[in-house]
Structure 1
Amino acid sequence: MKVIQNLLPLAVFTSALVIPDEQITKQLILQKQDSRTFFNELQDGVEDVWMGVEEAFKGTAAIADKEFEKAVNAVSDTANRAKAVFESHLTMEKWDIQEWLDSTVDNIQHGEFDNRPDEKPHRGHHKPSNKTVYELIAGSKYTTILAKLINEYPDLVETLNSTAANYTIFAPTDKAFKKLPKHTKKPSKELIKKVLTYHISQDIYTTGRILASHTIPTALQEDSLGGEAQRLRVSLGLRGISINFFSRIIASNFLGANGVIHAVDSVIFPPPTALQIVKLFPTEFSTFQLGLTKTGLFEKFAESYHEGGTFFVPSNFAFRKLGVKINAFLFSKYGEKYLKALLKYHIVANQTLYSDAFYKAKVADGEAINALDEVDVEDIPRGFFHIDLPTLLHDKSLSIDVTRYGGFISMKINGYNNVAVQDGISKDGVIHTVSSVLIPPKTPSEAQYAGEELSLRDFKARFDAYVEEL
């Protein structure tokens, strides 16, 4: 067995980035894939079903990595040729949603989950089934592996059989599990349950609602988010609707007595921390990561206790826009304090702002302490939404404006800086990629920085007051 030196977790990014978390990647040892498929190696037991889950990421890592680079590169001034594709992926602005619905999503199967989910569903509407979502999964010949895994957890069976609530299941088909190469080590039962729970949402998300969402809360409660629901990222592309980019919905809207099922063609894995994600993409974020490491912020934040966070991460291109002189100064011994102040201005601790949801900061008893108590943590209202988020820079706040109309959502920082890539799902928060470095004004009344060229003197003047306190 030849062990690959670097572990390659599954990278997912189109308007989001989602990759498996550290608990999963620690169990991964990638090896050469032999001619036998994972499906050929399956035996009758659940242990054999999950024999190869730890190599789940090998087949898709390279593809997802390219898609992430494509998404981020498309926002730079040098990537105009990809602009049309980028816009269609990230904002849906270029899509005629109704036409797409008529030609694809309108082909909905309501009722028995027994049609071929790996083929384009045929037209027609049927009455919802009186079976629960668990019974539909257990009775389908296309989700036998998923059913076996769920059966290992009586509480999951009870939940999915209950009619006290409604659920959405993103159900990997047997062919989805076939993508997992053979391996000899079985993940822990706790880890398997974590992955299964990440496929369940405790609310109804039909195709229409999915299209109007950027993120979807799951039943996986994440301690690193203060016990809030870990989320899935929705994207619309040329292949239709995808979850966390790589897992495509191939059949939708199977309605049961207590929810809806969407068949997906890949197993979905929970993400790692935001800092791990930054570290995994040096071609896009190496300057930001180098700054965090040089100033000690990387280690300090990684070791600090926090419940969620919002990370506005400048791309390498964003740093290049500052010019050679400012970059040379920042990464010199004379500019280290300024670099530290700059990076702190990009990080919000304990408050997680997605493009369509907001997890507030909490006190010891778990109650939200944010002033916007009228805002539901699970849903940012349609239309216009404003919030000021305190950063690590002496609580210096970022002014965030979110404009939301259906599936189109735009985010602006300090009135001028657009979020280029929204909703990079992480274990402990969310990453928003920005194509311009965020710089505070010298005075509250002064105009915000909008990516224009700055002199070194002007740059330093904007941070002098904060540097003195570092």
Structure 2
Amino acid sequence: MKYTAILPFVVAATTAFVIPDEVTAQKLALNPEPHHDEKSWWDGIPSLDDVRSSVEDTFSDAVDAFESGAQSFLDSLPEIDFEIPDFLPESWEVERPGRGRKGHHGRHGHHGATNLTIYQAIHESKYSTKFAKLVDEYPDIVKALNTTKHNVTAFVPTDKAFEKIPDHHKKPSKEFIEKVLEYHIVPGLYPAGRVLISHTLPTFVKEDSLGGKAQRLRVSVGLFGLRVNFYSKVVVANIFAANGVIHGVESILVPPPPAGRIISLFPQKFSTLILAAEKSGLSKEVHGHKTTGSTVFAPTNWAFQKLGPHANAFLFNTEKGLGYLKALLKYHIVANETLYSDAYYGKDGRTEVDTSAAQFHVDLPTLLDEKNLSIDVARWGGFISIKINGFTRVSIQDGIAKDGVIQVVDSVLIPPHEHHGEYIDGDEIEVEDLIERLEPYVENKKEQSLWGEL
């Protein structure tokens, strides 16, 4: 059997930043990136063609769902179908989202159509033999999937998923494989209906870089079904067992690399951010500092272009401007606190805060002398909006990372005046205004190396 770095993210995690040799602010201004060129987001990833295609489709679907509005998004959920193969014997019941049978207390019944446990079920299926064989090598995983004391949800890769593993790589360590297996298991019962209104799900992986909190999966729904971590499509849903539920997925799920390395995979979306971190010296300054979680509000190339040619020329092409550029970048980074769209790991990862209310507010201290970002999260069923400082919205939510989460923004976040207090919307700004807003933090030089691997 072939075991290796299962997805391109693992291979890419070992690569360094891709920094252009010379990029001037004038060039940035003269070569604008269209605001709606979403597919360029994926062009930089060195992935298999089918993975690249599925990610592009997923992103386009997500944008379509976002623009259609919350109500139409929610209305569409009951109509979404799944591709249901004969994952298990015909005598076993397979349900579809929104059409399942109800169990005790109004929930989908967790004793399902079989008395077998999830562990027993994956051994009975001819479509999950490779995953089942891997599980057998790890007693703790066997116990988790076989106990009836607690419900679990398993995202089980089909045998075809293992065919994507390259032949020429060495077998990874047992510790790595065990972590991969744990990443497919979610504590608790998550039938398709519950998954559809979730954005992230906790897994069995306890990540040191998150302060020992659960590493999470990203789930999203589009016109062509449900996907996990952008690339893995759910091909069969709601196989109920005695101790939980199984969802079959078409690709193996791999715990993600650090946030900085993920950003470096997408230079066509983040080349300006990557360049800024390198030229300002921030990437060297913060390298190697351990954190217990983080939130990176990552501005796109378009976000920097919106600042205008004069601001970009000052920030990137003057010696004085580089100090202001570093301060500006620090205002986008929160160390030791991780804010997903539907979960929040508080200071030092010690506290997990309930964010299920319709409105949730938190002030996140940034690396810019702990200058706070005001965050408002609004929820309507499965639709979530994240707003920063009153008006800047997160355009792409929940880029799951080893050491936190990436929230993509299409406007550069600029701190308020020290005395005036007003925010701006990240559009074109005069150099004098930019200097006034950032100068206190540059002059004080209270630059704390709190961030991990940017």
TM-score range, shorter chain: 0.7 to 0.9
- Change over 3 Å in CA distance of 1:335–1:225 after alignment to 2: same
Q: 2:248 aligns with which of 263, 269, 278?
A: 263
Q: 2:63 aligns with which of 59, 62, 86?
A: 86
- 1:248-287 deviations in Å (ceiling 9; x for gaps): 1111111111111001111111111011011111111111
SS in 1 for 2:347: coil
Which residue is 2:81 aligned to?
104
Residues 152-301 of structure 1 aligned to structure 2 (within 5 Å): 152-183=137-168, 185-301=170-286
Which residue is 1:460 aligned to?
435
Residues 424-443 of structure 1 aligned to structure 2 (within 5 Å): 424-443=399-418
Q: Distance in 2 between matches of 1:10 and 1:265?
A: 12
Which residue is 1:329 aligned to?
314
For normalisation by structure 1, the TM-score amounts to 0.78
Shift of 1:193: 1.1
Which residue is 1:310 aligned to?
295
Q: Which one-letter code corresponds to 1:308 in the other structure?
A: G
Q: Distance in 1 between matches of 2:425 and 2:438?
A: 16
Which residue is 2:40 aligned to?
none
Q: Which one-letter code corresponds to 1:337 in the other structure?
A: G
SS in 2 for 1:266: coil
Q: Distance in 1 between matches of 2:283 and 2:327?
A: 13
Moved more, 417-426 or 119-128: 119-128
Shift of 1:299: 2.5
Q: 2:341 aligns with which of 337, 341, 355?
A: 355
Q: Distance in 1 between matches of 2:115 and 2:95?
A: 24
Which residue is 1:74 aligned to?
none
- 1:371-418 deviations in Å (ceiling 9; x for gaps): xxxxx44x4123000000000000100000000121100000000111
Q: Distance in 1 between matches of 2:409 and 2:225?
A: 26
Moved more, 383-392 or 459-468: 459-468
Shift of 1:130: 1.6
Which residue is 1:58 aligned to?
48
Shift of 1:182: 2.3
For normalisation by structure 2, the TM-score amounts to 0.80
Q: Distance in 2 between matches of 1:274 and 1:90?
A: 27
Q: Which one-letter code corresponds to 2:332 in the other structure?
A: H
Q: Distance in 2 between matches of 1:181 and 1:113?
A: 27
Q: 2:330 aligns with which of 326, 336, 344?
A: 344
Q: Distance in 2 between matches of 1:21 and 1:224?
A: 20
Q: 1:389 aligns with which of 355, 360, 364?
A: 364
- 1:180-226 deviations in Å (ceiling 9; x for gaps): 33235212211111111110011111111111111011101111111
- Change over 3 Å in CA distance of 1:433–1:103 after alignment to 2: closer
Q: Distance in 1 between matches of 2:96 and 2:367?
A: 50
- 1:59-117 deviations in Å (ceiling 9; x for gaps): 4454367569xx5xxxxxxxxxx7x8614168873745455424626x999x9943599
1:21 and 1:427 in contact (8 A); partners too:
no
- Change over 3 Å in CA distance of 1:92–1:214 after alignment to 2: farther
- Change over 3 Å in CA distance of 1:145–1:434 after alignment to 2: same
List gaps (5 residues or longer) in structure 1: 1-7, 12-18, 27-55, 72-81, 369-375
- Change over 3 Å in CA distance of 1:157–1:339 after alignment to 2: same
2:13 and 2:262 in contact (8 A); partners too:
no
2:80 and 2:225 in contact (8 A); partners too:
no
- Change over 3 Å in CA distance of 1:444–1:10 after alignment to 2: farther
Q: Distance in 2 between matches of 1:179 and 1:204?
A: 29
SS in 1 for 2:239: strand
1:275 and 1:298 in contact (8 A); partners too:
no
- Change over 3 Å in CA distance of 1:25–1:300 after alignment to 2: closer
2:211 and 2:350 in contact (8 A); partners too:
no
Identity, % of aligned pairs?
47
By relative contact order (CA 8 Å, sep 6+), the higher-ranking structure is: 2
List gaps (5 residues or longer) in structure 2: 17-45, 102-108, 446-454
2:74 and 2:382 in contact (8 A); partners too:
no
2:152 and 2:187 in contact (8 A); partners too:
yes
Which residue is 2:38 aligned to?
none
RMSD: 3.2
Which residue is 1:33 aligned to?
none
